[in-house]
């Protein structure tokens, strides 16, 4: 359904919201920029999105629908999976004999209409809506699932108390029967579905003295999700063990396993770890969405000179590119994004990983299995006999793996890997500690990336200016003059701006997010091993001295990049300081 631009202009003029002279100017601007008139109207603030969508609906002769504060039946809402609804801005909200009514921001998205038609088997009736309506409806996915879960617990509570007896003499057959009980299956399925829809990275199932606590890690923060009767613990843990193919009657030793499911057309892998605690077994389930690749370095938060340095290092045929940072800082995602850039028909890419988080077409990925002798070192040694051009090693953990990775880069391979250090400059003494000689480091390591993940502010954030005391506190951790120079060079602020006039932002709790944050973005430092830094490595210079030289040569530290993104309004200063500890 294409919008007739001439008709839209006529309706806009008739509304009286824009004068004829203003409209003529905007039309010329749209033609110059090769953009739609509607985009220019919105970007110039001449008209609200809701008014524009109502006019577009009038021209298209379809209804406009507002979903703000409108309760949608979950059975209808869930006809479109939450990830698709969020990514394509489309909500199913009403079902009748005439068909399924769906609210959309873009009624030209015909492939999506066709997808929903095939999925639901219903005739699709498109309706135009606005962004506030989409946000209001997306919140209901979470709330409806919570209500659905509570309903299961209430209905099955008596049955759960009867079946969940954690007795030492239980045989494996009895435990298996417990895990296959319908209430337990429903609870575990709901826990998993709930976590996937909330974009959780981990599920923590923790037994206590009087209850079982379930927590989700969302955007790097743990949140209480459920508190269940302690009698449910044996059944839930056993059910997870059954899914992961673990030993059901082994409760004294930690176990590791994995399983896969497909939900709403999305493949999801789960890595499971169980651990004996004082009150019973604890389970942590890591959620890995196999279709979550497709990032770009820009979308991960790289920018400016740091981004150029990474692209330059990826053009090299040999050498090492290292990503550093604590667990959960997004190192592996950064490496996968680089692999997708390098993934061309003319190159052979092989990896050794633990675990394989995302599956990439045309990349030969090997899963480490230490229990049968397939370690990172042994896997890398075998992999190098497979004639690879580019090698990714999931993690350099020991001297043997480090030595093999260095030798691989010396013998004509581009090697990507991760290493656990807190900063980019810290990777150099770490490699030396593992037994890699300094002259080998300067011959192989091209670029070192350090990173953290900070939560992103939602659109309804609060703007404020720093007080004198806040500026003084900021000066204790950041060189304010250097930071101001970086912001001016990147044209983020004006040439005359000072810290007193630069706006920052605070989170605001609302329907979109309970804590004012949604999603995460990376903050990075990208250290290029230049000739001067090579000399410092050979001389045995300290980590701080190497970092100081890298800063002189244009490297922005993780903390500085955090402040940079706070000025952009992507995150808050409080979030940056929470994540980056000096």
Task: Give yes or no for residue 215 having a pLDDT over 90.
Answer: yes
Backbone angle region of 61, left / alpha / beta, with phi > 0 → left and psi within -120 to 50 → alpha: left
Could you tell me which residues are beta bridge partners of residue 267? 262
For the ranges 318-322, 339-343, 456-460, 462-466, which has the lowest average pLDDT?
456-460
Closest C-alpha to 13, from 5, 65, 43: 5
- Positive or negative, the CA dihedral 529, 533, 535, 541 is negative
313 pLDDT tier (thresholds 50, 70, 90) = very high
Task: Give yes or no for residue 407 having a pLDDT over 50.
Answer: yes
CATH code for the structural domain at 164-289: 3.30.450.90
Q: Which residue has the higher pLDDT, 93 or 38?
A: 93
Share the mean pLDDT of the chain: 86
Task: Give yes or no for residue 157 having a pLDDT over 60.
Answer: no
Give the span between the Cα atoms of 449 and 422, in whole angstroms. 11
CATH fold of 304-579 reads Rossmann fold (3.40.50)
The structure's pTM equals 0.73
Domain ranges of the chain: 1-61, 164-289, 304-579
Task: Give yes or no for residue 164 having a pLDDT over 50.
Answer: no
Confidence at residue 84, expressed as pLDDT on a 0 to 100 scale:
80
pLDDT in tens, 448-487: 999 999 999 988 889 999 999 999 999 999 999 999 999 9
pLDDT in tens, 132-147: 888 888 877 766 555 6
Task: Give yes or no for residue 58 having a pLDDT over 90.
Answer: no
Task: Give yes or no for residue 305 having a pLDDT over 70.
Answer: yes
Task: Give yes or no for residue 540 having a pLDDT over 50.
Answer: yes
18 pLDDT tier (thresholds 50, 70, 90) = confident
């Amino acid at each position: 359904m294409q919008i007739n631009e001439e008709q839209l202009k006529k309706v806009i003029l008739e509304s009286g919201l824009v004068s004829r002279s203003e409209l003529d100017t905007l039309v010329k601007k749209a033609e110059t920029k090769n953009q739609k008139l509607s985009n220019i109207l919105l970007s110039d603030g001449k008209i609200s999105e809701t008014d524009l969508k109502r006019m577009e609906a009038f021209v298209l002769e379809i209804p406009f629908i507002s979903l703000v504060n409108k309760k949608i039946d979950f059975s209808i809402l869930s006809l479109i999976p939450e990830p698709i609804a969020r990514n394509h801005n489309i909500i199913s909200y009403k079902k009748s004999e005439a068909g399924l009514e769906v609210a959309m921001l873009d009624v030209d998205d015909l492939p999506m209409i066709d997808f929903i038609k095939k999925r639901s088997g219903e005739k699709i009736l498109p309706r135009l809506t606005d962004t506030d309506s989409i946000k209001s409806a997306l919140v209901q996915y979470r709330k409806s699932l919570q209500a659905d879960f509570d309903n299961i617990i209430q209905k099955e509570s008596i049955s759960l108390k009867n079946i969940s007896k954690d007795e030492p003499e239980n045989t494996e057959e009895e435990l298996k029967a417990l895990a296959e009980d319908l209430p337990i299956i429903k609870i575990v399925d709901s826990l998993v579905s709930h976590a996937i829809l909330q974009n959780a990275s981990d599920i923590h199932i923790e037994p206590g003295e009087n209850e079982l606590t379930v927590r989700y890690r969302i955007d790097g923060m743990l949140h209480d999700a459920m508190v269940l009767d302690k009698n449910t613990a044996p059944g839930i843990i056993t059910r997870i063990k059954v899914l992961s193919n673990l030993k059901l009657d082994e409760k004294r030793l930690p176990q590791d396993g994995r399983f896969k499911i497909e939900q709403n057309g999305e493949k999801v892998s789960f890595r499971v770890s169980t651990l004996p605690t004082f009150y019973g077994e604890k389970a942590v389930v890591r959620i890995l969405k196999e279709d979550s690749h497709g990032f770009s370095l820009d979308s991960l938060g790289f920018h400016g000179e740091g981004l150029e340095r990474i692209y330059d290092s990826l053009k090299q045929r040999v050498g090492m590119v290292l990503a550093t940072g604590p667990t959960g800082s997004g190192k592996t995602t950064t490496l996968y994004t680089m692999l997708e850039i390098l993934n061309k028909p003319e190159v052979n890419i092989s990896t050794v990983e633990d675990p394989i988080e995302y599956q990439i077409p045309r990349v030969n990925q090997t899963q480490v299995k230490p229990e049968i002798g397939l370690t990172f070192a042994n896997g890398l040694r075998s992999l190098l006999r497979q004639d690879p051009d580019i090698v990714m090693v999931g993690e350099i953990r020991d001297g043997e793996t480090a030595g093999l990775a260095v030798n691989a880069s010396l013998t004509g391979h581009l090697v990507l890997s991760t290493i656990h250090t807190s900063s980019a400059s810290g990777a150099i003494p770490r490699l030396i500690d593992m037994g890699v000689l300094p002259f080998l480091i300067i011959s192989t390591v091209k670029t070192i990336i350090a990173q953290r993940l900070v939560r992103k502010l939602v659109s309804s954030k609060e703007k404020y200016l720093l007080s004198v005391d806040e500026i003084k506190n900021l000066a204790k951790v950041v060189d304010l003059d250097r930071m101001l120079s970086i912001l001016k060079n990147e044209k983020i602020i004006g040439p005359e701006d000072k810290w007193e006039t630069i706006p920052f932002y605070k989170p605001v709790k609302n329907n979109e997010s309970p804590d004012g944050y949604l999603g995460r973005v990376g903050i990075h430092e990208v250290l290029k091993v230049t000739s001067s830094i090579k000399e410092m490595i050979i001389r045995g210079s300290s980590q701080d001295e190497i970092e100081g030289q890298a800063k002189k040569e244009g490297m922005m530290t993780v903390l500085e990049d955090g402040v940079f993104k706070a000025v952009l309004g992507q995150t808050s200063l409080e979030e940056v300081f929470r994540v980056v500890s000096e």
